[in-house]
């Protein structure tokens, strides 16, 4: 395994950890957490997202993925999510 492959595995693992933290928050609430844990599910999500961003930055620093394209892509994704949320509100499947 080379460095690129290793970092891509790390990326996949971090994505899965974000997914798991989000699923727990949906099941048990953002302010819930593991029994005896000192972190809430919201804090766990923030930590896992930070870990994911760190791996993305390592990929960018090594030229494996292009940093410049990420900035524009983030804004485009935010616009798409907002559009879909508005559509869901219209359809009655999303409430504030």
At residue 54 the predicted structure's pLDDT band, cuts being 50, 70 and 90, is very high
Range of the domain at 35: 3-65
Same domain, yes or no: 57 and 88: no
Both 59 and 13 in one domain: the answer is yes
Q: Count structural domains, the chain.
A: 2
**Is a pLDDT exceeding 80 seen at residue 69?**
no
Whether residues 19 and 60 share a domain: the answer is yes
- The pLDDT value given to residue 24: 96
Same-domain status, 49 and 11 = yes
66 compared with 58, residue with greater pLDDT: 58
Predicted confidence band at 34 (pLDDT cuts at 50, 70, 90)?
confident
pLDDT tops 90 at residue 1: yes
Position 36 confidence tier, pLDDT thresholds 50, 70, 90: confident
- 3-state helix, strand, coil split of the chain in percent (to 5) is 75, 0, 25
* Residue of 28, 26, 21 lying closest to 47 (CA atoms): 21
Question: Are residues 15 and 43 located together in one domain of the fold?
Answer: yes
Same domain, 61 and 75: no
What b-and-e string marks burial along 40-63, b requiring 16 or more CB atoms within 10 Å of the CB? bbeebbeebeeebeebbebbeeee
Mean pLDDT of 81-92: 97
**3-state DSSP assignment of residue 38:** coil
């Amino acid at each position: 395994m080379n460095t690129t492959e290793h970092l891509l595995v790390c990326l996949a693992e971090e994505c899965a950890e974000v997914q798991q933290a989000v699923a727990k928050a949906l099941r048990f609430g953002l302010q819930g957490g593991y029994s005896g844990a000192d972190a809430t599910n919201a804090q766990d999500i923030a930590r896992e997202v930070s870990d994911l961003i760190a791996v993305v930055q390592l990929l960018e620093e090594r030229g494996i993925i292009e940093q410049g394209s990420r900035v524009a892509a983030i804004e485009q994704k935010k616009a798409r999510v907002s559009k879909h949320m508005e559509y869901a509100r219209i359809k009655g499947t999303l409430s504030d």
